[in-house]
Chain A
Amino acid sequence: MTGPLLEVSDLTITLGLGRRTVDIVDGVDFSIEAGDRLGVVGESGSGKSMIALALLGLLPRAMRLTRGTIRFDGVALDKLPPDRLRKIRGRDISMIFQEPATALNPVITTGEQVSEVLRRHEKLSHAEARNRTIELFRQVGIPAPERRIADYPHQMSGGMRQRVMIAMALACRPRLLIADEPTTALDATIQRQIIDLLTRLQEETGVAIMLISHDLPLVASFAQRIMVMYAGRHAETALADTLFQAPSHPYTQGLIACALGLEDGIERLPAIEGQVPTPAAFPAGCRFATRCPHVLDVCHRTVPPVQQLGSSHSVACLRLSELAKTSPIPQTELSA
């Protein structure tokens, strides 16, 4: 294979609001290589989950893909007929959801839900699917899998249910796994376990993982590359190390200041003033302009283009050349 596993360019998702329309995801580009671990970070409403749904062709009805292309393994997913796309879902690309409590059907046993996927895509018999399910349960660290496959979701803890979701997602050995806030509904120690599990499974199976989260430190502990999104636009993409050493977008700088503030135990936590505007109130120019500490008049009028700072570092900020040097973090080197 020559190109990247997944290549998304100029992805634009439009939400109809009565007669008006808003681009809740606006011109986002990114790519994932086979075996890559990409983190996507942004607050609620930044459009990161919508990107995930768009990749699978599962956008809610009020939203439409209006621009851009999604190429997976050379195939344009956005132009695929629904039944072909359905065959890709769960087999080549699969997804883990935020709430393991509600992402499993309460009236079917967990084992049956995993085997159902195996029977559907791999055409396995009931007995074969059962054996594979037990094997998968073991792989994701569920103790006594032979007994646990008979459990209903309500008989399992949150962490166990998320492991079932992961088992289901990995059942058909997909090449891309989209994990949308997989740890948000879990408590801190379980979060760690799930991230470690995802890391281990990624290394074992070579699946590419796109981890979506609002939790920057968590993503940083997992992903090789991180894309920061704000209000439906790409803010900054960089290797995880680069992002922390030389955050170049004011929003990224703010996020990292918040995250580091947590660790340093300083008296008052740094915070980014204000909230993400609602889609109906997205500003015309840079969408971060309403909260940016470095805002200029021009920011309110002009949409900042994405600029390359290095081979794998891109930033969308009009004042990039000045701000990249006024990072709030003391640092000696700037990456190329």
Chain B
Amino acid sequence: MTDLSTAAPQTRRIRLSLAGAHWPLLIGGVIFGLIVLAAALGPFLTPLGPEDTSLMDRFKGPSLAHPFGTDSFGRDVMTRVLYGGHVSLLIGLAVVVIAALLGVLIGAMAGYFPRLDNPIMRVMDAGEAFPTLLMAIALAAVLGPGVMNVVLALGVAYAPRTARIVRASVLVVAQQQFVEAARASGASSARIILTHLIPNALAPVIVQMTFIFADAVLAEAALSFIGIGPPPPAPTWGNIIADGRTYLYSAAWITMFPGLAIFLTVLSLNLLGDGLRDALDPRMKKVS
């Protein structure tokens, strides 16, 4: 009886603190949510296709018919930004998933098995020593360009960062008595890692995932810009900018709008990540 009455005010307090103290979380979440929504609903928001050309409408500035203007083939930039967002965000998501899966598994092993710690982490150090973009370029050079390879290259490139964070928090969680208690009740190492260590070590990983997402969107744009991303004419934010760079002085809108999309995505993800970190870290809790 009593726990029902105490439960209600508790949830209300959490909600209040979400709205009050964690405004970056809120703003970042809303902006990012809108971007995701726009990218997902792209086909319904515009009647044109991303590869529909119209030679009559080349280099038209922003207008009601073409809010973001048109490019050198008369393609509607807004349509391309919306469709490109679809691809760019999916690439970001896939990179995050790969980096998180690899990083969590590798990091948990390093944190839990002291014998594996040094060998694993030195390999991760080596991986991290390469600049992410160079590593991705090298992998793309080996595997060839294309969406899957970009995803794979970036996912592998970001895995060491995640592994480092997971290892650190697994080391802390492994000292907790419930891990010893689980061992004392006969749990296997796999069971301890999967059900006891990883779920309790995940908070900093979630924060890291937002930053990796932002980084991956930027990296994909950079890779597409230099031509090793998903090949044209399929739009991504990166290759729309690449297409427009020749006309930067005469038709700045071609590069400006996809650039703005990247900027807003990265900004909102960083706000989201900062907000999450503050919300999940008990040391950052505000007194009062």
By a beta-carbon cutoff of 8 Å, the part of chain A in contact with chain B is 56, 58, 61, 86-91, 94-95, 97-99, 102-108, 116-117, 120-121, 155, 165, 168-169
| A88 contacts B180, C-beta separation under 8 Å | no
Q: Which of A86, A106, A107 contacts B186 (CB 8 A)?
A: A86
The answer to whether residues A94 and B178 also contact, given A106-B200, A155-B3 and a CB cut-off of 8 A, is: no
| A97 contacts B186, C-beta separation under 8 Å | no
| B177 contacts A102, C-beta separation under 8 Å | yes
Q: Which of A99, A102, A117 contacts B185 (CB 8 A)?
A: A117
Taking CB atoms, residues of chain A closer than 8 Å to B176 are: 102
Whether B172 sits at the interface, judged by CB under 8 Å, is no
CA distance A117 to B192 in the complex (A): 12
- Shortest CB distance A51–B (Å): 14
- Shortest CB distance B287–A (Å): 20
| B188 contacts A105, C-beta separation under 8 Å | no
Name the residue on B nearest A121 (C-beta): B186
| B185 contacts A89, C-beta separation under 8 Å | yes
Q: Which of B178, B184, B199, B200 contacts A56 (CB 8 A)?
A: B184
| A94 contacts B184, C-beta separation under 8 Å | yes
Name the residue on B nearest A94 (C-beta): B185
| A105 contacts B178, C-beta separation under 8 Å | yes
Name the residue on A nearest B192 (C-beta): A105
Name the residue on B nearest A61 (C-beta): B114
Name the residue on B nearest A104 (C-beta): B178
Whether B142 sits at the interface, judged by CB under 8 Å, is no
CA distance A94 to B183 in the complex (A): 10
Query: Can you list 22 A-B contacts (CB < 8 A)?
Result: A56-B183, A56-B184, A58-B180, A89-B185, A90-B187, A94-B184, A97-B180, A97-B181, A102-B176, A103-B178, A104-B178, A105-B178, A105-B182, A105-B195, A106-B200, A108-B199, A117-B185, A120-B191, A155-B3, A165-B181, A168-B181, A169-B185
Q: Could you tell me the dominant secondary structure of chain B's interface residues?
A: helix
Taking CB atoms, residues of chain B closer than 8 Å to A98 are: 177
CA distance A292 to B76 in the complex (A): 92
Taking CB atoms, residues of chain A closer than 8 Å to B186 are: 86-91, 117, 120-121
CA distance A308 to B107 in the complex (A): 54
The answer to whether residues A95 and B188 also contact, given A61-B114, A106-B200, A108-B195 and a CB cut-off of 8 A, is: no
| A90 contacts B177, C-beta separation under 8 Å | no
Name the residue on A nearest B175 (C-beta): A102
Taking CB atoms, residues of chain A closer than 8 Å to B114 are: 61
Whether B196 sits at the interface, judged by CB under 8 Å, is yes
- Shortest CB distance A213–B (Å): 17
Taking CB atoms, residues of chain A closer than 8 Å to B182 are: 105
Taking CB atoms, residues of chain A closer than 8 Å to B188 are: 86
CA distance A117 to B176 in the complex (A): 19
Taking CB atoms, residues of chain A closer than 8 Å to B195 are: 105, 108, 116
Which residues of chain B from 1 to 36 have any CB-CB distance to chain A below 8 Å in the complex?
Answer: 3
The answer to whether residues A99 and B200 also contact, given A86-B188, A91-B186 and a CB cut-off of 8 A, is: no
Taking CB atoms, residues of chain B closer than 8 Å to A168 are: 181, 185
- Shortest CB distance A198–B (Å): 17
CA distance A98 to B177 in the complex (A): 9
Shortest beta-carbon contacts, A-B, top 8? A90-B185, A90-B186, A89-B186, A102-B177, A95-B184, A103-B181, A103-B177, A107-B199
- Shortest CB distance B173–A (Å): 10
Taking CB atoms, residues of chain B closer than 8 Å to A105 are: 178, 182, 195-196, 199-200
Kindly list 6 other residue pairs between chains A and B, CB separation below 8 angstroms, not including A89-B183, A106-B200, A117-B185. Answer: A58-B184, A88-B186, A97-B177, A116-B187, A120-B186, A168-B185
